[in-house]
Structure 1
Amino acid sequence: MFINQTYFIDSCNDAELNIKRESKLEFQLMYDDTKEIEAIMCIIQGLGADIRDPVLKFNMEYFASKCNVAVLSVNYHGIGNRPQTGAKWYLDDIDKLIFDTSLKALNIEIPYDISNLNTFEEFYPAMDYLNKEIQKKKDNWDLSRDYYLDLSASLQLTNNEYQNYGIMQTIDMINTLLYVKTKIFKNNNLKTIVVGVSHGAYMGVLSAKIAPWVIDAIIDNSSHVTLEGDAWRYIGFGKEVDYAQYSCFATFHYFKNIRLCASEKTLWTTNKQSPYYFSLARKLIRETLNKDHLNIQAKYPNPKYIAYHSKFDEYVPLEEKEEYVSILKELGVDVEFTKITDNQQVDGKFIKNLTHGMGIPIKLLIKKHLSQILQEPLKDKTCKKEISYKCDDLIYTFKEENEQILLDVQKLS
């Protein structure tokens, strides 16, 4: 019989900020119980999609019905961070200050009290009024015809969550794999495979840093390996630096003359006096390209690593991925790395373009590698199920206990 079931389980708290989690971890699992299951495969959703995505469901059903695998996907902590996955617009104090300052700069008055505009339903009429006033100024040539106004707005994540970024998300994914393996199938000899594109791929790669003994294979399409360049703005505090340049995303969806620059709700801040300061240590633990950390990781049984990356990726430099792969190979990790460097590799079916993700269909990506992964012998994962990393002034220790990953963060004396 084909099994398609949704589960809600306990997972990690925020050990970095000492915050108890309010929400359960939701995941969906599919498999055919008439088959001899050989592996558990997790397809990790990236930004803007969750387990209700129809393409994801199609792919999960396909592989669960065609192959000897159980397929799961996880609504990890903070996944509901876009309007299409349930995030709600609101204005915080910084957003309101930017709104007010922009009105004064344009010399426009609106019949609304900005201090009382909190929800989307409350601030939309005020911004719509401003949008029309800007159009009048453009029609009168008081503003250029290509003018638009950047305004800041925030997104409240689903389940009253916030953007922790990377760590809680990836622990959620690992905890789900452990739960399915030990509680549902009760078989420690099942392989675990993680597959993702972009942020989903990043979580897959980060899982090898957090618990290398849990994962058997990673299929990575275009993950980032540092928080340099474009990646750090997704944490949510970009507006503390420049709300327009470092927004999580920006959209003209609601107004023709106003671009809403979105920031996810996060507790992280650039304020060094805050207990929520995103320090160098917080950054280092979230980066997979760190030679000192990779030297530690390599002492454990590591997963097979299969990666694709384009030379023309507009978000993640190929050079960073090449350096990461080079270190892995030096350390003896089993790596298959495909670089896409010219149009001759674009076949229109598997590789469709040269930009971020290369348009590779997740179904074809999995089909290309799954049988090979299943045929390879299961590695001996016997080791101490605990790993520690020194990150500037902090020590991060990840430990598997009672089929869950626990994080302990200690300050160096």
Structure 2
Amino acid sequence: MIVNQTYEIDSCDDVELELKRESKLEFRLCFDDEKVIQTLFFIIPGCGGDADSNYREHLASFVAENFNVAVVSVNYHCIGNRPQTGAKAYFDEIDTLIINEHLKVFKLNHKIPSKTMDIETMHKEFMAFDELIQAQKDAGKIAQNYILKFPISFIPTKNEYQNFGIMQAQDLINALLYIKANPPFSLRRGGDLRVIMLGSSHGGYLAHLTAKIAPYLVDAVIDNSSYAKFSWHYIGFGKEIDFISIKYREVNPIIGKNTYIYPFSKTLWTSNQHSKNFFSPTRRQIRNILEPHHLKIQSKYPKPYYVSYHSLYDTIIAPPQEKAELYKILKDLNFNARLRMICSADEIDGKFIKNLSHGMGMSLKTLILKELPLMLENLKQNPKQQWDNTSISYPCEDTIYHFSQKEAKIVLECEELKK
């Protein structure tokens, strides 16, 4: 019988910004209680439709029914940063500043809401701006081709914020360690649970980052369209860098007749070099998967299997040349790593691969059916390497990031390098 269990546990604080976390970590475990479980299979949602809870539950049940695995679905830190996952909208200080400048230029009188808005209210506000501009166009005071472009922020559920990567990967590891310490299912005799992580886009990125932080825990990564380096689009403060063209927008704009709204997630990171929250080169390095000297450090630990699918035309969100370079380095370091670059429309079959844009419209169920049996066979043929060292350290520009396993938790310590 398929069993679904939900857990809430304490996870990690924000060590980099020295902030105490307010929220609990929630995750779900799905398994067949008549099977002997050999593997934990993480399905890691990204920022799109695969974050929908009903879809995730259906997919988890399908996998648990068809394979000897327990399926883990983690509501990692800031997963609720889209309207479909519960986020609300608001205008932060930068949003308000940008909009007020537009209003001043055209001598428009409009009061910007100071409270959070549900999606329906946000659309009403959007229409108010649109009608305001149209009235000025009708009066001949604004050029007919003028479009008001402005940002808006999404505040995630649980009053969280976009830390990007580190806390999210720690959440995945802490869920993994909790299950290993408290397994509610029958285990294979004499064998440790193997761990496979699968994700698309940001979910695939987190699978890679988790393997970077805890390579001795992760046995395999199955990925679709993840970025090899952190993405400016999802870090939350792209509007600080370019608020005119909104080059680093997170999602496609909400488009009206006279207005474009560009949504961004709430973040505490900033481009201000004088702030303690500055997203410095160090903080970028630790989040990059494509960081050659970090990959060399990781290669001295048990090596996960990697398989990835990527579109050659995914040039904005996840540059394919970076992904190709990452997988070349992995191979050079003797990782078992396979990258399938989708290069032409001839490879679109309408079922597995539906287009050549970011994510390729890929069916996760088909990806699982295609790659999970191969990964399970690889793990069966290659017993888990005994490994006692449960810590790893990555030197960055001015800080060493120490990750260590202590009492069924992954702990981060940041050590400043002496100048």
Give the structure 1 partner of residue 292 of structure 2. Answer: 291
Deviations 1:53-87 (A, max 9, x none): 32222211101112111111111001111112111
The AA in structure 2 aligned to 1:167 is I
CA contact (8 A) 1:6 1:28 kept: yes
CA contact (8 A) 2:51 2:85 kept: no
| Residues 1:184 and 2:183 aligned together | yes
Please list every run of 5 or more consecutive structure 1 residues that lacks an aligned counterpart in the other structure: none
Deviation at 1:27? Answer: 0.7
Give the structure 1 partner of residue 413 of structure 2. Answer: 408
**Cα distance in structure 2, aligned partners of 1:318 and 1:129:** 41
Deviation at 1:125? Answer: 6.0
TM, length-normalised to structure 1: 0.93
224, 228, 233: which is aligned to 2:227?
224
Helix, strand or coil at the partner of 1:6:
strand
The AA in structure 2 aligned to 1:29 is L
Give the structure 1 partner of residue 208 of structure 2. Answer: 205
CA 4–168 in structure 1, closer or farther in 2 if over 3 Å, else same: same
Helix, strand or coil at the partner of 2:295:
helix
Give the structure 2 partner of residue 78 of structure 1. Answer: 78
The AA in structure 1 aligned to 2:393 is S
The AA in structure 2 aligned to 1:68 is N
The AA in structure 2 aligned to 1:287 is N
Give the structure 1 partner of residue 129 of structure 2. Answer: 130
Helix, strand or coil at the partner of 1:235:
coil
CA 235–381 in structure 1, closer or farther in 2 if over 3 Å, else same: farther
The AA in structure 1 aligned to 2:313 is F
Helix, strand or coil at the partner of 1:380:
coil
**Cα distance in structure 2, aligned partners of 1:200 and 1:364:** 17
Deviations 1:18-48 (A, max 9, x none): 1111111011111001011121101000014
Question: Number of matched residues?
Answer: 406
CA 190–126 in structure 1, closer or farther in 2 if over 3 Å, else same: closer
CA contact (8 A) 1:50 1:80 kept: no
CA contact (8 A) 1:40 1:181 kept: no
**Cα distance in structure 2, aligned partners of 1:124 and 1:194:** 37
Q: How do residues 103-122 of structure 1 correspond to structure 2 at under 5 angstroms? A: 103-110=103-110, 112=111, 114=112, 117-120=114-117
Helix, strand or coil at the partner of 2:264:
strand
Deviation at 1:185? Answer: 4.5
Q: How do residues 5-16 of structure 1 correspond to structure 2 at under 5 angstroms? A: 5-16=5-16
**Cα distance in structure 1, aligned partners of 2:20 and 2:100:** 36
Give the structure 2 partner of residue 23 of structure 1. Answer: 23
Deviation at 1:287? Answer: 0.2
Please list every run of 5 or more consecutive structure 2 residues that lacks an aligned counterpart in the other structure: none
**Cα distance in structure 2, aligned partners of 1:92 and 1:316:** 27
CA contact (8 A) 1:27 1:51 kept: no
Deviations 1:163-218 (A, max 9, x none): 10000001101111121122125856111110000000000011111000010110
CA 296–246 in structure 1, closer or farther in 2 if over 3 Å, else same: same
CA contact (8 A) 1:82 1:157 kept: yes
| Residues 1:215 and 2:197 aligned together | no
TM, length-normalised to structure 2: 0.91
Give the structure 2 partner of residue 42 of structure 1. Answer: 42
Deviation at 1:99? Answer: 1.8
The AA in structure 1 aligned to 2:323 is K
Compute the RMSD of aligned alpha carbons: 2.0
Give the structure 1 partner of residue 172 of structure 2. Answer: 173
CA contact (8 A) 1:48 1:85 kept: no
Deviation at 1:357? Answer: 1.6
